[in-house]
Protein backbone atom coordinates (compact mmCIF):
# COMPACT_ATOMS: atom_id res chain seq x y z
CA UNK A 1 0.00 0.00 0.00
CA UNK A 2 1.38 3.40 -1.02
CA UNK A 3 1.86 5.86 1.84
CA UNK A 4 0.16 9.24 1.30
CA UNK A 5 2.47 12.21 1.81
CA UNK A 6 1.56 14.90 4.32
CA UNK A 7 0.64 18.34 2.98
CA UNK A 8 4.06 19.98 3.62
CA UNK A 9 5.81 17.15 1.78
CA UNK A 10 3.39 17.47 -1.15
CA UNK A 11 4.01 21.24 -1.27
CA UNK A 12 7.77 20.75 -1.39
CA UNK A 13 7.36 18.16 -4.16
CA UNK A 14 5.26 20.59 -6.23
CA UNK A 15 7.74 23.43 -5.75
CA UNK A 16 10.69 21.20 -6.71
CA UNK A 17 9.00 20.68 -10.09
CA UNK A 18 8.67 24.40 -10.93
CA UNK A 19 11.04 24.88 -13.89
CA UNK A 20 13.76 27.50 -13.90
CA UNK A 21 12.49 30.75 -15.41
CA UNK A 22 8.92 30.04 -14.31
CA UNK A 23 6.93 31.05 -11.24
CA UNK A 24 3.79 29.66 -9.64
CA UNK A 25 1.38 31.33 -7.22
CA UNK A 26 0.99 30.18 -3.63
CA UNK A 27 -2.64 29.32 -4.41
CA UNK A 28 -1.67 27.21 -7.42
CA UNK A 29 0.93 25.33 -5.37
CA UNK A 30 -1.78 24.67 -2.76
CA UNK A 31 -4.19 23.43 -5.45
CA UNK A 32 -1.61 21.12 -6.99
CA UNK A 33 -0.68 19.80 -3.53
CA UNK A 34 -4.32 18.82 -2.99
CA UNK A 35 -5.59 21.64 -0.74
CA UNK A 36 -6.86 24.50 -2.92
CA UNK A 37 -7.74 26.76 0.04
CA UNK A 38 -4.33 26.48 1.72
CA UNK A 39 -2.33 29.26 0.03
CA UNK A 40 -1.37 30.78 3.40
CA UNK A 41 -0.14 27.40 4.61
CA UNK A 42 2.06 27.19 1.51
CA UNK A 43 3.52 30.57 2.47
CA UNK A 44 4.27 29.30 5.96
CA UNK A 45 5.91 26.16 4.59
CA UNK A 46 8.03 28.24 2.19
CA UNK A 47 9.08 30.62 4.99
CA UNK A 48 10.37 27.67 7.03
CA UNK A 49 12.14 25.94 4.14
CA UNK A 50 15.93 26.14 3.94
CA UNK A 51 16.45 23.09 1.71
CA UNK A 52 18.45 24.29 -1.33
CA UNK A 53 16.78 21.65 -3.53
CA UNK A 54 13.44 23.45 -3.11
CA UNK A 55 13.36 26.61 -5.27
CA UNK A 56 10.94 28.49 -3.03
CA UNK A 57 11.91 31.78 -4.71
CA UNK A 58 9.77 30.63 -7.66
CA UNK A 59 6.56 30.89 -5.60
CA UNK A 60 4.91 34.31 -5.82
CA UNK A 61 1.65 36.03 -4.89
CA UNK A 62 -1.34 35.54 -7.20
CA UNK A 63 -1.01 39.14 -8.42
CA UNK A 64 2.56 38.42 -9.54
CA UNK A 65 4.35 40.34 -6.81
CA UNK A 66 7.31 38.40 -5.46
CA UNK A 67 6.54 38.48 -1.74
CA UNK A 68 9.15 37.80 0.92
CA UNK A 69 12.03 35.33 0.82
CA UNK A 70 13.54 33.60 3.84
CA UNK A 71 17.01 33.52 2.32
CA UNK A 72 17.62 37.22 1.85
CA UNK A 73 14.33 39.11 1.58
CA UNK A 74 12.27 40.24 -1.38
CA UNK A 75 15.19 41.97 -3.14
CA UNK A 76 17.16 38.73 -3.19
CA UNK A 77 14.07 36.85 -4.44
CA UNK A 78 13.58 39.41 -7.21
CA UNK A 79 17.25 39.18 -8.21
CA UNK A 80 17.11 35.36 -8.34
CA UNK A 81 13.98 35.40 -10.48
CA UNK A 82 15.46 37.97 -12.86
CA UNK A 83 18.68 35.92 -13.13
CA UNK A 84 16.51 32.99 -14.26
CA UNK A 85 14.88 35.13 -16.95
CA UNK A 86 11.58 35.92 -15.22
CA UNK A 87 10.35 39.36 -16.32
CA UNK A 88 8.87 40.78 -13.15
CA UNK A 89 7.46 43.89 -14.84
CA UNK A 90 5.51 41.51 -17.07
CA UNK A 91 4.27 39.49 -14.11
CA UNK A 92 2.98 42.56 -12.24
CA UNK A 93 0.86 43.66 -15.21
CA UNK A 94 -0.54 40.25 -16.03
CA UNK A 95 -3.13 38.22 -14.25
CA UNK A 96 -2.67 34.52 -13.67
CA UNK A 97 -1.92 32.58 -16.82
CA UNK A 98 -2.55 28.87 -17.28
CA UNK A 99 -3.78 28.18 -13.76
CA UNK A 100 -1.27 30.21 -11.79
CA UNK A 101 1.86 29.61 -13.86
CA UNK A 102 3.54 32.63 -15.42
CA UNK A 103 6.42 32.32 -17.85
33 vs 70: CA distance, rounded Å: 21
Quote the strand ranges of 5-103, DSSP E.
23-25, 59-60, 101-102
Task: Identify the pLDDT of residue 60.
Answer: 95
**36 CB-near residues (< 8 Å, 6+ apart):** 27, 30
**What domains can be seen in the chain, in order of their start residue?**
7-102 (1.10.10.10)
pLDDT band (50, 70, 90) for residue 5: confident
Please confirm, yes or no, whether 37 is among the known catalytic residues: no
Assessment of whether the complete model's pTM goes beyond 0.75: yes
Q: Which residue among the candidates 30, 38, 56, 59 is catalytic per the annotation?
A: 56
Residue 29, pLDDT > 50, answer yes
- Model pLDDT for residues 37-95, shown as the tens digit of each residue: 999 999 999 999 999 999 999 999 998 889 999 999 999 999 999 999 998 765 554 44
Amino acid sequence: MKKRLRFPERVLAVVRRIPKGTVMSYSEVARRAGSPCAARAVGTIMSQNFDPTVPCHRVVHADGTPGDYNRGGSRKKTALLQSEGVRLDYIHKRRRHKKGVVR
